[in-house]
Chains A and B, each alone.
Chain A
C-alpha cells in the first residue's frame, strides 16, 4: 500500500480518537468518504494512472476504503453503547412496591404485653369464650347474690351459658387441670353489656396468675411496677390503692399518672383463699397473686387513641398507621 494511504489511516484513527459524538463522526465520514471526500477523490485520480499501476492501486484503495468504513462504524457503535450505559434513570419514579400490611393495634399491644410478661416467666394460655356460671362467677367467689355481679353486666346465650366477663375463667380452668405451682397469662376477648364512648360490649383482657410457695404482695408489686415501666418505656408515676374484687384479698388497683391525671390501668391482688380452695389448691402450702388489665385502655394510652370505636371500625387508613409494629 502506498505510503500516503497508510498515513491517511493513522490520521483517521487520530481524528476518531478525539471525537465523542455521532455528529463529529458524520463530519469525519464526509471528510474522507463523502462525495468530495479525500478517499473518494483518490478514486477519481485513478483514471490518470497507467493501466498496470491502476490495477494495483485500485486494489489498495478498496482496502483503504473498507478499513476506513470499518473504523468509523466501530467508533459509532462504541459511542452508541457508552451512551446507553450512561442513560439517566429517574429513580424518583414509584417503586414496584407491595407494601407491608399491619397488625391490629390490639394485637400489637397484646404481643407487647405478653412478651414482657413472658420474660417474667408467665406462659400464655387461652380458653373458651362461652362459659358457664361456675367458671365465670362461682369458682371466683362471686355467688349469685353478690353485689359484685353488678360490676359484670353479663350477656347470656342460655340460662347457664354466658359470654365470659373476664379471662379469669381461663385461670380457673388452668388451675383445675394443672397443679400448683403455676405462672400463666390469659389474653383474650371478654364481653360486658355496656356500650358508650369509653365502654365497648367486647374488649380484650390479659390476666396474670402466679401460684407458688411464699408468694406475697411485694412480688405482685415487683411484677406490675416493672411491667408498666417496660410497657411505656419510661418511669411512670404509679400508685397502688386498696380496692375490691371478690377473687382477691387483699385487692388493689394500679393507677398511673398520665398527663397530670391519675388513670386506673389494672386491678390486682393476692388470690382469695376461697378461690384456691375451689380449685383444690392447698392454701397452707401455696399462695399467689393475680392481676387483670384492659388491652384497649393501654393501647389508647400508648398510641394516643381517643375514640375506643376506632379499634372495631377497621378503617384501613387507621390500621395502616401501625405498619412496622409487631
Chain B
C-alpha cells in the first residue's frame, strides 16, 4: 500500500526524518518495503499484513502512528445529511450489505477538471486519473479507506437492489470482460439488470463519464467473507474488493459520502441531492464490542511491567475506549478494528507501540524431555554413507506425470490436483525416479563418477482414504571408485561396492538373490533382509528405466526402508578368548548355480564346534580346467576355543564333518 508523506503530514505534521520514520513504521508492524522521492513528495510503500485493513488509508496510518507522535487524528471537513423523503432503495439484502448508503446528485457537471492536488496524489499512490467524480471517490478511499462506486443515474433504471444474482445473469464489467454470474454472486442491480458485482467491480453500461449529468454514489459495508468468495471465484482483485474482503469500517459509509459531497461542492456546481441509508441493528460482531482484560496479562504475557498510564494512553490514541473497572480494564473496540477479539490482541497493540525491541531477552534452556528424538537413526546412516564417499542429495517430492507408471500401479499414485507444472504433477511412489533423475542430471554435466544417497519419503495411496508415507534411504553408484587415483588403483564400481557400503553401516544385513522387483533388472537384483525381514532392495535398474532417463552408464541402486530397520542398539560385552585362533582353508568344486550364501548358510546352520567365522575367500571359473557350469570356491574357516588351545585333531574332526556336509548337501568335490 502506497502512501504520500505530504498527505500524512496533514494529520501528523511533526513526522521525523525518512530513515527514522521508516524504522518507526516498521517497529509498529507497518513494514516499509520502499521509500521513493517523487517531485516534492515522498512515497512510502508499506507491506500490509492481512489483519490490518484499518491501515489501508492515509488516516488509518496516521491513527496508527498517533501514539508515537501524541497527535489525535481529526476528521477532514464533510457535509452532514438530513433524512430525505425521496427513496432510491428497493431491496437491500442485509446479509450482503449490513450497512448501505447512497447519495443521489441530480445535477452535476462532470466535465470539471480534477484538481491538481487530487490528481497528483492519486498518481503517487498508483491510481489512474479517470474523471472528476471517480477521482474524488478514489481520493476519499485513499484518505479514509472507504471504497465507493458511482453509477450514471440516467443509465440506471429505477431503484437500487442489493441481492444475489439469478443464474446466468450477465455483467459487462469496467475491465472490458463479460462475466456470467452465479446464484451465489452478490450484486447491485437496477430494476432491470445487474450493475455491479457487489464490492468488486461495476458495470460498463452504467459507468460515469465526463458527460454524466446525474449520479448515484454508493458507499457500503459489505460482509467481508461474501466479497472474498466472489472475488476469489472471478479471480478479480480490485482496490475495492481488496479492502472490503479485509473489512472496511462499517460505520464509515455515511461520513464518506458527506466527505465526497464536500469536495465535489468545492470544485463543481451541484444541484439537488438526497441521501438514503439502510442498516441492520447488528452490523458486525466487533461493533461496540468490549473486552475485559486483567492488567496483569500485559506483564505475564510480555515479561515486562508496563505502566497503566502508557497502556491507557496508547489504546486511546488507537481509537479504543479504555475504562478502569473493578474486574479489570474494560476496553471498547473501535469500529475500524476487525482484528481485535481477545485480550491478547490488546497486549499486542500495547507491545508494538512499546516497541518489540525494548523487551529484554531471557534465555531459557530447560529441557523437558517429554518426547524422544526420532531423527537420529537416519542421521547415523547418512553419516556412514558420507564416510564411504556418498554425496547426499535432496530431490523434489514431485515427479513428472507418467514417470512412475512402469513400476507403481496407477491406483497407488497420488496426483496433485493443482500442480505448478506437468513435471511436478505426481508425488513419488518410489525413490528410484528421484535417484535416476539426479544421476541423469549429473551425467549430463559430465559428473560420471557418482555415489549418491537421499533420505526422504515415498507417498502411496492405499485404498481410498489411506495414504502411506514411508521413510526411505536410497542411493546409487556409478563409474570408478575414485577418479583422483592412479589408473592402477582405480576400479569400476560394482554391486559389491554397494553391498560393502551397506554392510559397513549395518553388518547384520543379508542379501538374497531374486528380489522380484519390477524396476530392477532380472540379472542383478537382491532383496535385503535383516533378521529375516525384508528391509530393502538393491541391484541394477531395469532396461526401460535406463532408457526413460537416457542413461548409458551402468548404475547400481539401493533402497532401505528406514522404519523397518533395527539400528545398532545397546552393546553387551562378551568375554574374549585368550587361546589362539586357527585358520583352515578348503577349496571345493561345485555347480555354478550354487550361491555362496547356500554354502555359508549350510555350514552356519549346523553350528560346528569351535568354528567362530566362515567366509568365501576366493572364487575361480575355468571351463578347460573345471568343466562347464562348475566353479572353484575357497572357503576360509576360523576356529577358536574359549577354554584351551585346540589340537590338530580337534580341528580335523570338525573339518571332516564340514566336508561331509558339503559333499552331501551340495555335491562338492574337494580340491584341496
Residues on A facing B (Cβ under 8 Å): 93-104, 106-107, 111, 114, 118-121, 123-126, 128-130, 145, 147-148, 150-151, 155-158, 161, 163, 174, 178, 181-184, 187, 189, 191, 193-195, 201-202, 210, 212, 214-219, 221-226, 239-244, 249-253, 270, 272-274, 287, 311-317, 319-320, 326
Contact = CB atoms under 8 A, between A and B. Distances in A.
A313 B441 contact: yes
A316 B368 contact: no
Contacts of A189: 397, 456-457
Contacts of B302: 216-218, 250
Contacts of A183: 366-368, 370
B176 interface: no
Nearest to A160: B465
A181 B393 CA distance: 36
Report, nearest first, the 7 A-B pairs whose CB atoms are least far apart: A242-B29, A218-B303, A250-B348, A244-B49, A216-B303, A121-B367, A240-B356
B604 interface: no
Contacts of B301: 216-217, 250, 270, 287
Given A97-B482, A315-B441, A316-B442, A218 B361 contact: yes
A221 B414 contact: no
Contact of B245 (A147, A155, A219, A320): A147
B371 A174 contact: yes
Given A155-B418, A242-B28, A314-B442, A214 B300 contact: yes
A224 B371 CA distance: 22
Contact of B485 (A94, A120, A210, A273): A94
Contacts of A270: 301, 344
A201 B28 CA distance: 31
Interface of B: 26-29, 31, 49-52, 224-225, 228-229, 245-246, 300-304, 339, 342, 344-345, 347-348, 351-352, 356-357, 359-375, 379, 382-383, 385-398, 414-421, 424, 427, 438, 441-442, 445, 447, 450-452, 456-457, 459, 467, 469, 481-482, 484-486, 489
Contacts of B348: 242, 249-251
A157 B368 contact: no
17 contacts: A94-B485, A100-B389, A107-B394, A121-B366, A157-B427, A187-B375, A217-B351, A218-B302, A218-B362, A222-B361, A224-B361, A226-B363, A240-B356, A250-B352, A270-B301, A287-B301, A314-B394
Contacts of A287: 300-301
A256 B333 CA distance: 34
A184 B359 CA distance: 24
Contacts of A326: 383
* Residue picked from A145, A174, A195, A217, most chain B C-beta under 10 Å: A217
Contact of B386 (A103, A119, A272): A103
Contact of A182 (B370, B379, B395): B370
Contact of A107 (B51, B228, B392): B392
A201 B351 contact: no
B396 A312 contact: yes
Contact of A119 (B365, B383, B450, B451): B365
A147 B389 contact: no
Nearest to A249: B344
A100 B482 CA distance: 11
A108 B40 CA distance: 51
Given A94-B489, A239-B357, A319-B391, A222 B49 contact: no
A164 B379 CA distance: 23
Given A103-B386, A202-B397, A157 B392 contact: no
Given A96-B485, A156-B416, A218-B359, A101 B389 contact: yes
Contact of A241 (B29, B344, B361): B29
A125 B396 CA distance: 22
A114 to B, nearest CB: 8
Contacts of A182: 368, 370-371
A271 B229 CA distance: 28
Given A94-B489, A96-B485, A123-B372, A239 B27 contact: yes
Nearest to A317: B447
Contacts of B467: 130, 157, 161
Nearest to B339: A244
B418 A156 contact: yes
B482 A104 contact: no
A157 B383 contact: no
B361 A244 contact: no
A319 B393 contact: yes
A320 B441 CA distance: 15
Nearest to B29: A242
A225 B361 contact: yes
| A96, A189, A317 interface centre (most CB from chain B within 10 Å) | A96
A312 B394 contact: yes
B35 to A, nearest CB: 13
Nearest to A128: B469
Contacts of A250: 301-302, 344, 347-348, 351-352
Given A178-B370, A182-B370, A317-B447, A124 B375 contact: yes
A120 B366 CA distance: 6
A270 B346 CA distance: 13
Contacts of A312: 394-396
B508 to A, nearest CB: 23
A103 B27 CA distance: 39
A244 B52 contact: yes
Contacts of B481: 98
Given A150-B50, A317-B447, A123 B371 contact: yes
A121 B300 contact: no
B393 A104 contact: yes
A145 B303 CA distance: 34
Nearest to B471: A126
Contacts of A274: 342
Given A218-B304, A222-B362, A317-B445, 15 more contacts: A94-B485, A97-B484, A99-B484, A100-B389, A130-B427, A157-B467, A182-B370, A215-B364, A217-B351, A219-B303, A221-B356, A249-B345, A249-B348, A250-B347, A314-B393
A314 B366 contact: no
Contacts of B452: 314, 316
A11 to B, nearest CB: 50
A193 B361 contact: no
A273 B26 CA distance: 26
Nearest to A154: B418
A221 B361 CA distance: 5
Nearest to A144: B225
A104 B29 contact: no
B568 to A, nearest CB: 19
B223 to A, nearest CB: 10
Contact of B489 (A96, A120, A126, A216): A96
B394 A104 contact: yes
Contact of A148 (B50, B373, B456): B50
B507 to A, nearest CB: 19
B363 A120 contact: yes
Given A130-B459, A217-B303, A155 B416 contact: yes
A184 B485 CA distance: 46
Nearest to B446: A317
Contacts of A181: 368, 370
